[in-house]
Chains A and B, each alone.
Chain A
Amino acid sequence: MVRGPFQAALPRARCAGFLVIENVRQTYDGVEALRDVSLAVAPGEILCLLGASGCGKTTLLRLAAGVEAPSGGRILLDGVEVAGPTNFVPPEKRGVGLVFQDYALFPHMTVLENVMFGLRHLPQAQARELAMRGLARVALDHYADSYPQLLSGGEQQRVALARALAPRPSVILMDEPFSNLDQRLRESIREETMTLLREEGISAVVVTHDPEEAMHIADRIALMRKGEIVQTGTAEDLYFCPESLFAARFFCDLNELEAQAQGGEVITPLGTFAAPHIPDGPCVVCIRPQALLFDTDRGGIESTITARRFLGRVDRLRVKVPGIEQDVHARLRDARAFRPGQIVRLAVDARDVLVFPQRDHDKGKAGA
């Protein structure tokens, strides 16, 4: 027996859903969009699928929603297989909510009719009442009889959310839900949405390409690349302990220096750093821009400032370091005292340095 959202005619107590993805593959015309992806979303958890465009994150979301069938692997919702070798539950029977980047509001229906769309199993009056309550929840009940085109982007986004939540899905899936909003609006809508989801205790999978956004909203982040999940963990895990150069680059603009590791150490023109688990041989030393310290009592390497740019919260400096071909860039608060041409003594905070063994596919960006 497949559990659907509408088994009971009356709203049931919500139980947050439990989504498991096991060894899922997806191939389009011989091209692998997803290869062997496994992932679990705990009840009530908010998980972000993070990656560049074309990495397969949206495909994974669509497979979970059931609007596409996987080429291989299994998907389980609350322990029940909804997609597998012998089983496929269509989206209308899955009980998942889906929110799109373009919101996908039905233009020929009013806001209220949109929200009532998923409540057809209920008597009209009850559906209306529930939908109105949902709209009130996103503070849009006064727009119930308007058509969605008349609403602003942020309001449309909230209607889409209310519509997806109305049938009380066990999991809500959101595809770049905030990327069509301008930046100021985005932050406030994001906060509101996440507060709502946490209050409802609903499980959510949110697709985004923006690492900062992922850190803002996620309990856990799954970082994807070329159809695979490269690392899963909390924002801190991914930021401080990236397992690969790719993951490190995704969360930070790094100064990358090619060097040789030897005996758990690596020597660079900016100093010697510990590289305890790195095998001897070529490696990449990554220094975060904020790791560079200027004219402190720790001493340092004599270097020349080549450019400074004021960016508000921080200033960005370019520095010519002897022995490093390209300029090193640094971020510094209140750097107005520094001028291009000025000689400074540059030191490095070793806590913000990461070392990775060099792999072929990492080449090209090193030293940037």
Chain B
Amino acid sequence: MISLRTISARFANGTAGLPAVSLLVAALVAAPVISLAILAAKGSGDLWPHLAAYVLPQAISDTLLLLVGTGVLVIVIGTSAAWLVTAYEFPGRHFFQWALLLPLAMPTYIIAYAYLDLLHPIGPVQTALRAALGLSSPRDLILPDIRSMGGCILLFGFVLYPYVYFSTRAMFVMQMANLVEVGRTLGAGSLGIFLRVALPLARPAIAVGTSLALMDALNDIGASEFLGVRTMTVSIYSTWVNRSNLPGAAQIALIMLALVIALILIERFARRRQSYAGSTQRARRLVPERLRGVKALGAWLACALPIFIGFVAPALYLFVEALARLRFAGLSSSLLTQIGNTVLISALATIVSLALGLVLAFTARMMRNAVTDVILRVASLGYALPGTVLAIGLLGPLALMDDAIASVSELLTGRTTGLVMSASGVALIYAYVARFLTISTGNVESGLSRLSLSLDHAARTLGESAGGVSRRIHLPLISPALASAALLVFVDCMKELPATLLLRPLNFETLATHLYGEAARGTYEDGSIAALAIVLFGLLPMILLARTSRAPKKAGLHMPQREGVAHG
């Protein structure tokens, strides 16, 4: 008796290599986690008591405090902004709907960098304040220092809330109309509707958005370091780079991985009843209630403030500084090299991510079963790994590969090679692909899921092979999804800092590492052009998001797609 699997394998003839490649991809993504565990098991020798006594307690408590504070702030800002622009009509509402996404273009390390200078005692804000108050010396006006836990939470909140805003608004727009109207007829007021109907229903979306924001916060290296918060990411970096203690860094990384897993579990728990959210009747848009007078002004301010703090002020500052710098010194050749480096390495990583994303998504479409499900899950793990953790985990596999290449080369040519993987930038591309593969897989998968399986079957019965169907039907039809995936992966690669810092070849600078170096040296103004360039590139996916969020069914562009496509 022949098994079903061999029959389905024969049915999908011409695509037999797909699962094998997918398995390889999953193995490559899983490799850093396994390697990390092995590394940590080796122990850090004499340093462990020191780590346990002096580094870890503060790292853990700082990290937790930062996560809790940022979490509360992004939920408050994100959900209230989303509710305001959905449920109420007031001047500027349509502008705010997309403008509220703008802070996403601002990486955490850039906003910290900008505010450090903006709020510096001799920076523009304090100088203007003193002028207004008639004070002459910086010592006469003592403001709370932005270089503190509170400052860090505040900045993270204002720059990361769009994750919550985006996911929650999609939910508000599509799911709520009938429920809100029923709630009103049952006597609930505006605030009552928000607290008793909208918020509980949006809980799964809030959970998704918040977990993404917190992943970003956890991943951050620049901002917390500039602002003097000793998070685990910062500790990993300094344990490795300053103390040259790799096993110690790996141990901290492993603890951090546990934190990530806890975060994901909390998110799962918080949206455990998500089924009700997706299963409501036909979606109808909520008719917004018109606000007038003071109320309208209040809504306007509540929407304008996050945009101003999270985007307009720092972007304006960067623009002014960059302009001044350009006037003063022109565009330096090293900056051009850095732009070239950034674009090249990001483009290569994007191409690889797209190719592998296609392989994974096609595997899922053509032969969805328990095995391919696990493969897909594992292959999308990388998004949850903070950049520093990923970088440490990658060292082992990279060394193995370098060894293998060296011995093969010795066998063939009699000469050994050096550290090919690490020195050539392949390591960096590996890290980018492992981290951002989910974005391309998710986009391709959601593009494919919108194509009815009957298209596949029609093409097959008209004489086309399985591979031919992918080429002639799927690829042309998902090209918009591919384009948006490419854009998102490219920009994420450009902005990536922690893994780039640790894995880049010697003397290889991207815009992000250049900025980090300038900020670490305290020479802020030199970094402004690089920062502005990153923000400008970061605006591209914002435009895409703003356009697609008009049809919120396509939501999830930047969201890792953890749920598989239902088998049709």
Contact in complex: A92, B455 (CB < 8 Å): no
B294 at the interface (CB under 8 A from A): no
Contact in complex: A92, B11 (CB < 8 Å): no
Contact in complex: A120, B463 (CB < 8 Å): yes
Q: Which of A97-114 contact B (CB under 8 A)?
A: 97-98, 100-102, 104, 106-108
A62 at the interface (CB under 8 A from B): yes
Known contacts A100-B454, A104-B455, A167-B462; A69 and B10 CB within 8 A of each other? yes
Q: How far is the CB of A288 from chain B (nearest CB, A)?
A: 38
Q: Give the interface segment out of A34-42, A83-91, A186-194, A290-298.
A: A83-91
Contact of B10 among A67, A88, A96, A100 (CB under 8 A): A88
A120 to B466 alpha-carbon distance, docked (Å): 15
Contact in complex: B7, A92 (CB < 8 Å): no
A71 at the interface (CB under 8 A from B): yes
Q: Which of B446-494 contact A (CB under 8 A)?
A: 452, 454-466, 468, 472-473, 476-477
B148 at the interface (CB under 8 A from A): no
Residue in B452, B460, B463, B464 whose Cβ sees the most chain A Cβ within 10 Å: B463
A104 to B8 alpha-carbon distance, docked (Å): 22
| B interface majority secondary structure | helix
Known contacts A85-B2, A90-B13; A118 and B462 CB within 8 A of each other? yes
Residue in A91, A117, A118 whose Cβ sees the most chain B Cβ within 10 Å: A91
Smallest CB gap from B466: residue in A: A90
Contact in complex: A167, B13 (CB < 8 Å): no
Q: Which of A43-92 contact B (CB under 8 A)?
A: 62, 65-69, 71, 85-86, 88, 90-92
* A120 surroundings in chain B (CB, below 8 A): 463-464
Smallest CB gap from A94: residue in B: B461
| A interface majority secondary structure | loop
Contact in complex: B460, A90 (CB < 8 Å): yes
A141 to B465 alpha-carbon distance, docked (Å): 28
Contact in complex: A91, B461 (CB < 8 Å): yes
Known contacts A69-B4, A102-B452; A90 and B458 CB within 8 A of each other? no
* A85 surroundings in chain B (CB, below 8 A): 1-2
A211 at the interface (CB under 8 A from B): no
A48 to B457 alpha-carbon distance, docked (Å): 21
A227 at the interface (CB under 8 A from B): no
Q: How far is the CB of B491 from chain A (nearest CB, A)?
A: 27
A302 to B8 alpha-carbon distance, docked (Å): 65
A98 to B456 alpha-carbon distance, docked (Å): 11
A117 to B2 alpha-carbon distance, docked (Å): 33
A134 at the interface (CB under 8 A from B): no
Q: How far is the CB of A333 from chain B (nearest CB, A)?
A: 40
Contact in complex: B7, A106 (CB < 8 Å): no
Chain A 109-132: CB-based contact to B (< 8 A → 1; otherwise 0): 000000001101100000000000
A167 to B460 alpha-carbon distance, docked (Å): 12
Known contacts A85-B2, A92-B464, A120-B463; A104 and B10 CB within 8 A of each other? no
* B2 surroundings in chain A (CB, below 8 A): 85-86
Contact in complex: A100, B458 (CB < 8 Å): yes
Smallest CB gap from B469: residue in A: A92
* A65 surroundings in chain B (CB, below 8 A): 457, 460-461
* A98 surroundings in chain B (CB, below 8 A): 457-458, 461
Contact in complex: B462, A107 (CB < 8 Å): no
* B452 surroundings in chain A (CB, below 8 A): 100, 102, 104
A117 to B11 alpha-carbon distance, docked (Å): 20
Contact in complex: A167, B463 (CB < 8 Å): yes
Contact of A108 among B7, B457, B477 (CB under 8 A): B477
Q: How far is the CB of A340 from chain B (nearest CB, A)?
A: 38
* B456 surroundings in chain A (CB, below 8 A): 67
Q: How far is the CB of B478 from chain A (nearest CB, A)?
A: 10
Residue in B1, B11, B457, B458 whose Cβ sees the most chain A Cβ within 10 Å: B458
* A164 surroundings in chain B (CB, below 8 A): 458, 461-462
Contact in complex: B454, A102 (CB < 8 Å): yes
Contact in complex: A90, B462 (CB < 8 Å): no
A88 to B468 alpha-carbon distance, docked (Å): 19
State how many residues of chain A have any CB contact under 8 Å with chain B.
38
Smallest CB gap from B465: residue in A: A92
Q: How far is the CB of A20 from chain B (nearest CB, A)?
A: 18
Contact in complex: B11, A69 (CB < 8 Å): yes
* A5 surroundings in chain B (CB, below 8 A): 463
* B472 surroundings in chain A (CB, below 8 A): 117
Contact in complex: B477, A107 (CB < 8 Å): yes
* A118 surroundings in chain B (CB, below 8 A): 462-463
* B462 surroundings in chain A (CB, below 8 A): 92, 97, 117-118, 163-164, 167
A164 to B463 alpha-carbon distance, docked (Å): 11
A98 to B459 alpha-carbon distance, docked (Å): 9
Contact in complex: B461, A121 (CB < 8 Å): no
Known contacts A104-B457, A106-B455; A90 and B11 CB within 8 A of each other? yes
Q: How far is the CB of A10 from chain B (nearest CB, A)?
A: 15
Residue in B455, B461, B465, B477 whose Cβ sees the most chain A Cβ within 10 Å: B461
* A18 surroundings in chain B (CB, below 8 A): none
Contact of B7 among A69, A94, A167, A173 (CB under 8 A): A69
A6 at the interface (CB under 8 A from B): yes
A93 to B462 alpha-carbon distance, docked (Å): 9
A90 to B10 alpha-carbon distance, docked (Å): 8
Residue in A62, A69, A107 whose Cβ sees the most chain B Cβ within 10 Å: A69
A94 to B464 alpha-carbon distance, docked (Å): 11
* B455 surroundings in chain A (CB, below 8 A): 104, 106
Smallest CB gap from A160: residue in B: B458
Smallest CB gap from B4: residue in A: A71
Contact in complex: A117, B459 (CB < 8 Å): yes
A108 to B475 alpha-carbon distance, docked (Å): 10
Smallest CB gap from A163: residue in B: B462
* B477 surroundings in chain A (CB, below 8 A): 106-108
Contact in complex: A96, B461 (CB < 8 Å): yes
A92 to B13 alpha-carbon distance, docked (Å): 11
Q: Which of A310-365 contact B (CB under 8 A)?
A: none
Q: How far is the CB of B540 from chain A (nearest CB, A)?
A: 25
Chain A 156-183: CB-based contact to B (< 8 A → 1; otherwise 0): 0000100110010100010000000000
Contact in complex: A92, B454 (CB < 8 Å): no
Q: Which of B1-51 contact A (CB under 8 A)?
A: 1-2, 4, 7-8, 10-11, 13
Q: How far is the CB of B242 from chain A (nearest CB, A)?
A: 55
Contact in complex: B463, A121 (CB < 8 Å): yes
* Given A67-B457, A96-B461, A108-B476: 16 more A-B contacts, CB < 8 Å: A65-B457, A66-B11, A66-B460, A67-B460, A69-B7, A69-B10, A90-B11, A90-B460, A90-B466, A92-B461, A92-B468, A93-B463, A102-B452, A104-B452, A104-B458, A167-B462
B contact set with A: CB distance below 8 Å: 1-2, 4, 7-8, 10-11, 13, 452, 454-466, 468, 472-473, 476-477
Return 28 A-B CB contacts under 8 Å, by A number. A5-B463, A6-B463, A65-B457, A66-B460, A66-B461, A67-B457, A67-B460, A69-B8, A69-B11, A90-B10, A90-B13, A90-B465, A90-B466, A91-B460, A92-B460, A92-B461, A93-B463, A98-B461, A104-B455, A104-B458, A106-B477, A108-B477, A117-B459, A118-B462, A118-B463, A167-B462, A169-B461, A173-B461
By Cβ-Cβ distance, the 5 closest A-B pairs, closest first, are A118-B462, A69-B7, A104-B454, A91-B460, A104-B458
